[in-house]
């Protein structure tokens, strides 16, 4: 099974994923961004985003499939996917591989997102924080399809441990 945490930077994906992994036996974090970083060495740095490389989508599916075949359990994926076609390719590939996918959109208001990004002590630099802020408009444009494709979790004022509890309840009942 895969629990996919989608949403823009600052929505709480990484912190919620850590909470989920600590609570779900045999679960692991699968960072699909590492697949993109691997492709940089082969294909070069992309113009816009490594997700634009078609092999990224296929390799995410195949890597998840092979990891689950090898160790079983649950993969918790924290990856922002804002292009509907890319999400469809990944979701359809995972479904064809027989892997149940629970897709959650962690969402909060723009003011909270901006505050979380600006105060994130893990960001490498001011440039990294600015890059994240600059991509909030892309997230806004993707919200209509994301809300159709994912279970929306409003993280405004909700601690990640509670978000994880709600996600676990929804996975168990749905």
Task: Break the chain into its structural domains and give their ranges.
Answer: 2-168
Asked if residues 163 and 104 have their Cβ atoms less than 8 Å apart, the reply is: no
Q: What is the pLDDT of residue 132?
A: 66
Q: What is the pLDDT of residue 47?
A: 78
Is residue 69 predicted with pLDDT exceeding 90? yes
* Euclidean distance between CA atoms 11 and 110, whole angstroms: 10
Q: For residue range 109-145, list pLDDT tens digits in order.
A: 877 777 766 676 665 566 666 666 666 788 889 999 9
Which pairs with CB-CB distance under 8 Å and at least 24 residues apart come from 147-151? 147/105, 149/84, 149/87, 149/91, 149/103, 149/105, 150/4, 150/6, 150/103, 150/104, 150/105, 151/102, 151/103, 151/104, 151/105
Quick one: pLDDT band at residue 49, thresholds 50, 70, 90? Answer: confident
Asked if residues 105 and 146 have their Cβ atoms less than 8 Å apart, the reply is: yes
Q: What is the pLDDT of residue 123?
A: 55
Quick one: pLDDT band at residue 46, thresholds 50, 70, 90? Answer: confident
Domain 2-168: state its class. alpha beta
Residue with tokens 């809300």: 147
* Euclidean distance between CA atoms 164 and 106, whole angstroms: 11
What is this structure's pTM?
0.89
Q: What is the pLDDT of residue 137?
A: 81
Asked if residues 15 and 158 have their Cβ atoms less than 8 Å apart, the reply is: no
Asked if residues 75 and 67 have their Cβ atoms less than 8 Å apart, the reply is: yes
């Amino acid at each position: 099974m895969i629990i996919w945490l989608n949403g823009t930077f600052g929505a709480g994906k990484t912190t919620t994923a850590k909470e989920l992994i600590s609570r779900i036996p045999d679960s692991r974090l699968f960072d699909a961004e590492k697949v993109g970083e691997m492709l940089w060495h082969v294909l070069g740095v992309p113009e816009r985003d490594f997700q634009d490389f078609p092999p990224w989508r296929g390799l995410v599916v195949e890597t998840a499939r092979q990891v689950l075949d090898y160790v079983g359990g649950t993969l918790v994926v924290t990856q922002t996917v804002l292009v509907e076609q890319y999400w469809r390719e990944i979701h359809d590939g995972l479904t064809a591989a027989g892997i149940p996918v629970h897709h959650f959109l962690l969402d909060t208001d723009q003011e909270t997102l901006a505050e979380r990004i600006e105060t994130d002590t893990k960001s490498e630099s001011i440039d990294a924080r600015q890059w994240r802020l600059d991509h909030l408009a892309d997230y806004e444009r993707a919200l209509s399809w994301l809300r159709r494709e994912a279970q929306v979790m409003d993280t405004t004022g909700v601690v990640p441990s509670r978000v994880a509890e709600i996600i676990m309840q929804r996975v168990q009942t749905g």
